[in-house]
């Protein structure tokens, strides 16, 4: 009788305590069976506290670079592993996920993205830095399901218009954007047209054209925070003149920037991030550097 009493106790453990314990195990352990131990443990594994954020920046795809689109090949088992973790996490999360983070070398494909979007209808923040295996139709389908999306971290894409139009149509509270790649006048025009109420924009560690920068400051009327730290600012006047790298922002630009609550710049030859951006010619090869470096941002809300 004494033994029976002892055995029953772990099932009767307070849900709060179980949740506390679950907070100490990583996503791999959380999805590898604690939810199947017994009913109480299953119930605790579904607690919203565990699922506000799903951080998959601890996972990487097993991939090789390829010369043709999509420029990466991901092996089967690696894809399956991601699918498994997604299925179990999304199942247990029961729609609680508000922030979803993918790793820079976690190459999600359309099916996985759609499956995920369907099960995170309340998503507010998405960090998806690698779109290699995602088609236009795939990302648009996903965006349509994220009506509450406020913050997005994405790579630069060739023709952003189709995508930003979907954001414009579906995400009425969209206010924060981080683009990990070059910024030209076409992109800025698209932003002004599609997300005129943008409050926060980060373009750090990329090439930013001077005319684009000026247009950002003039054209995005609701902008509060702009981060162009470690960027290579390029003045590209008419075709016959040579392209010039701007080493110092002139007063007119600084004056416009001063109207923002935060205008973050860093153009310093001694700065390691500035040096790296230069070495990588404006498109940082994150895989060359410390793991997790890509997650940093001088804007707190955009850092991972």
Partner 1 sequence: MAEVNETDQTPNLGDSTTPSQPKPEQITTTNVAVPIPDVGPQLQVVVDEFILKNGSSDEEVRTAARNDLRDFIEREEIGITTLLVVVKYAHEFKNADLLDAFCERVADLIKDKKVVGVREIFGIVNDFTPEEEHALRDEHPWAFED
Binding region for partner 1 (CB under 8 A): 6-11, 13-14, 16-17, 20-22, 24-25, 29, 31-39, 41, 84, 87-88, 91
**What are phi and psi for residue 169, nearest 5 degrees?**
-70, -35
Nearest 10 degrees: Cα torsion 252, 256, 186, 239: 0
Shortest spacing between CB 167 and partner 1, in angstroms? 33
CA–CA separation, 129 and 148 (whole Å): 20
**Which phi and psi (to 5°) does residue 84 adopt?**
-60, -50
Q: What is the closest distance, in whole angstroms, from the C-beta atom of residue 74 to partner 1 in the complex?
A: 19
CB of 302 to partner 1, least distance (A): 30
Alpha-helix runs per DSSP H in 195-302:
210-219, 251-258, 272-279
CB 72 within 8 A of CB 132: yes
Min. distance of Cβ 85 from partner 1 in angstroms? Answer: 9
Is beta strand 53-56 parallel, antiparallel or unpaired with respect to 99-102? parallel
Backbone dihedral region for residue 292 (phi beyond 0: left; psi -120 to 50: alpha; all else: beta) = left
Specify the residue, 91 or 291, whose C-beta has the smaller distance to partner 1: 91
**Of 149, 247, 158, whose CA–CA distance to 198 is shortest?**
149
Give the nearest distance from C-beta 27 to partner 1 in angstroms.
12
Pick the closer one to partner 1 by CB: 61 or 265: 61
In the complex, what is the shortest distance from the CB of residue 58 to partner 1, in angstroms, rounded to a whole number? 14
What is the number of other CB atoms lying within 10 angstroms of the CB of residue 94?
Answer: 12
Dihedral sign for Cα 165, 166, 167, 168, please: positive
Q: Identify any residues that bridge with 55 across adjacent strands, giving them in sequence order.
A: 101
- Tokens (6 digits) for 72: 């990466």
Of 234, 186, 228, 231, which Cα lies nearest the Cα of 210? 234
Using the minimum distance from each CB to partner 1, give the nearer residue, 85 or 274: 85
Q: Which is nearer to partner 1, 28 or 287 (CB)?
A: 28
Please, which residue, 7 or 241, has the CB nearer to partner 1?
7
**Angle between helix 76-93 and 110-119 (nearest 10):** 10
Q: Which is nearer to partner 1, 8 or 221 (CB)?
A: 8
Residue 79 CB, shortest distance to partner 1, in Å, is 14
Cβ distance to partner 1 smaller for residue 34 or 217: 34
Closest approach of partner 1 to the CB of residue 20, in Å = 5
């Amino acid at each position: 009788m004494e033994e029976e009493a002892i055995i029953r106790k772990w099932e009767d453990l307070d849900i709060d305590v179980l949740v506390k314990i679950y907070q100490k195990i990583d996503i791999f352990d959380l999805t590898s069976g604690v939810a199947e131990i017994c009913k109480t443990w299953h119930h605790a594994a579904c607690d919203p506290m565990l699922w506000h954020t799903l951080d998959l920046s601890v996972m990487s795809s097993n991939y090789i670079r390829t010369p043709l689109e999509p420029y990466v090949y991901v092996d089967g088992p690696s894809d399956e592993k991601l699918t498994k973790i997604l299925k179990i996490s999304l199942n247990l999360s029961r729609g609680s996920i508000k922030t979803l983070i993918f790793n820079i070398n976690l190459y999600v494909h359309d099916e996985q993205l759609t499956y995920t979007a369907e099960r995170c209808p309340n998503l507010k923040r998405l960090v998806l830095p690698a779109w290699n295996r995602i088609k236009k139709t795939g990302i648009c389908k996903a965006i349509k399901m994220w009506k509450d999306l406020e913050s997005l971290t994405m790579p630069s894409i060739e023709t952003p218009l189709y995508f930003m139009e979907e954001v414009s149509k579906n995400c009425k509270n969209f206010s924060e954007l981080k683009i990990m790649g070059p910024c030209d006048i076409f992109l800025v025009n698209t932003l002004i047209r599609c997300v005129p109420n943008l409050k926060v924009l980060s373009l750090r560690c990329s090439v930013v054209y001077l005319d684009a920068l000026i247009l950002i400051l003039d054209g995005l009327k609701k902008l509060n925070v702009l981060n162009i730290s470690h960027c290579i600012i390029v003045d590209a006047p008419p075709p016959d003149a040579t392209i010039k790298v701007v080493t110092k922002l002139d007063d007119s630009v600084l004056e416009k920037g001063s109207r923002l609550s935060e205008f973050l710049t860093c153009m310093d030859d001694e700065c390691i991030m500035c040096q790296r951006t230069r070495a990588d010619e404006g498109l940082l090869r994150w895989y060359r550097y410390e793991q997790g470096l890509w997650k940093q941002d001088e804007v707190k809300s955009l850092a991972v």
